Structure 1
Amino acid sequence: MAAERHRVPPVVELRDVTFRREGRQILHGIDLVVREDEHWALLGPNGAGKSTLLGFCGAVTHPSSGTVRVLGQQLGRVDMQLLRRSIGHVNPRHPLRSPLTIREVVLTGLVGSVDVPPRWQPAPADLDRADSLLDTLGLAELGGERWPTLSQGERGRALIARALISRPRLLLLDEPSTGLDVAAREQLLETVDLLRETHSHLASIMVTHHLEELPTTTTHAMLIKDGGVVAAGPAEVTVTTENVSAAFAHPINVRHQDGRWAARALSARQLSNSAG
């Protein structure tokens, strides 16, 4: 089974990727392979390069050197806009300014726009799929509500539905818990975990710098620091006290229990006591 799995082309493949911006090296020789039904977390401090990496995976940014293949297509040899239609992207900073209904927001995922395009009409099958996704994600009764009336947690789940409506093979989640309280965060993570059942072949990549925001379905992780890889591989052996402390350049105690992670930075007093 493992051999057959590795004969299937990866969903995302980065080989020796670097990136420079304004003369500054942002990423250094990154390798990453994401396969079908794998759910990756990109972890690291602010400025480590996580969002830049996600830009490659989302067919938004070209590397300075190295090779990036997404859904079997090599960046630089493919229509990036067309490729992006096969990638679901969840961004909690969704720049919607029009008071669309939740159903309309979900439908915009079909055309990759923020607002509903003029004179565009979704097909009956599209409307059915939007309603089905809203039902699956616990938003069936809110389909006719306007975006400004939603809570942050409801918006997060609606954006997941929007990302899924085009039936992508890859789902990108860019700090999806931003701005959520604890209850809303847990509801959102339950929704992400649900996708393992409802979209079993989907691959996903989540960017975060909080271990508590990792869903239980996380299978793999990459920790990065200053644009380089600290550790990468299966989540349970990668997200450890040693690796997280190295990535964040501070002693951090990591716990993994019941499928969830938690992290606690050690204080100067604790460090002094342990040294003693």
Structure 2
Amino acid sequence: MEREREDYAVELQDLTVAYDAKPVLWDIDLKIPQGKLMAVVGPNGAGKTTLIKAMLGLLRPVSGAVRFLNGNDNGGDLRSLKNRIGYVPQSGSVDWDFPATVQDVVLMGCYGKLGWIRRPRKADLALARQTLQKVGMAEYASRQISQLSGGQQQRVFLARALVQEAEVYFMDEPFKGVDAQTEKAIVLLLKELKEQGKTVVVVHHDLQTVANYFDWVTLINLRVVASGPVEEVFHEENVQKTYRSTGKLLRSTV
């Protein structure tokens, strides 16, 4: 009997990434099923952000391959699917002094469909307003992005990703530096994306909330320690394996 093929949002094979000839990710084999809300966790320096950037083509790997949406007839590499991949970077990596309004930033998420020359259509403007309403930022549409708090800025960049209407989203520590209200709002949006069949990959640092926020988890420390459903792989033994080399004494988190 022929085995039914599993559909993956992202598939990595033998991925190795190095900085100045020093490997920071070794031989990563990883399959992320479609429709999952996945946390990437590990200690500082484990390669979490590097993994995200390598998948997004922002870093060139030494070896290996990344494929997207293999269950789709149009699945393939990032170049052919970039309009279907959304990204929310770490807030610290963004130039918040760039002279743009909140609405301008959100509309940047439409440029993959529009190109950089065409002006946004009425439908794009309506979608931007609707998305800002969803993240609780509609009243700030005309405000300069530099005038917002850290939590507000994070909501705006989340809205920019949402208007792209992607199939796979990557988010690098979206909860870092935000208040409790913003964190709750982001969690609700992530779960809504999952309910829509989207795949969301989140670099996450708070072990205490993994089981509440996510249904899939990948634990890494230069290599993949474990990856799979939270209830199967997110347990004390795997957490200790992941953080052991840091010398940090972990209290029970799972």
TM class by smaller structure = 0.7 to 0.9
Q: Give the Cα–Cα distance (whole angstroms) in 2 for the partners of residues 254 and 107 of structure 1.
A: 43
Corresponding residue SS for 2:251: strand
Corresponding residue SS for 1:47: coil
Q: Give the Cα–Cα distance (whole angstroms) in 1 for the partners of residues 154 and 229 of structure 2.
A: 27
**What is the aligned partner in structure 2 of residue 205 from structure 1?**
201
1:143 CA drift (Å):
2.0
Residue among 73, 78, 83 paired with 2:76: 73
Cα deviations by residue, 1:84-127 (Å, 9 ceiling, x for unpaired): 33211112232242342211110012226xxxx6x652111111
Corresponding residue SS for 2:46: coil
Q: 1:161 to 1:184 in 2, by over 3 A?
A: closer
Q: What percent identity do the matched residue pairs reach?
A: 32
Greater gyration radius: 1
Q: 1:100 to 1:120 in 2, by over 3 A?
A: farther
- Residue type of the partner of 1:48? A
Residue among 160, 171, 174 paired with 2:172: 174
Number of aligned pairs? 240
Q: 1:183 to 1:74 in 2, by over 3 A?
A: closer
Corresponding residue SS for 2:183: helix
**What is the aligned partner in structure 2 of residue 160 from structure 1?**
158
Q: Give the Cα–Cα distance (whole angstroms) in 1 for the partners of residues 238 and 225 of structure 2.
A: 7
1:14 CA drift (Å):
0.4
TM-score (norm 2): 0.83
Cα deviations by residue, 1:52-102 (Å, 9 ceiling, x for unpaired): 210122232232222211343236xxx3xx643321111223224234221
**What is the aligned partner in structure 2 of residue 133 from structure 1?**
131
Pairs within 5 Å for 1:227-266: 227-249=222-244, 250-256=248-254
Q: Give the Cα–Cα distance (whole angstroms) in 2 for the partners of residues 74 and 134 of structure 1.
A: 31
Q: 1:73 to 1:135 in 2, by over 3 A?
A: same
8 Å contact kept, 1:11–1:36: yes
**What is the aligned partner in structure 2 of residue 31 from structure 1?**
29
For the aligned residues, what is the CA RMSD? 2.5
**What is the aligned partner in structure 1 of residue 72 from structure 2?**
none
1:183 CA drift (Å):
4.0
Q: Give the Cα–Cα distance (whole angstroms) in 2 for the partners of residues 218 and 39 of structure 1.
A: 5
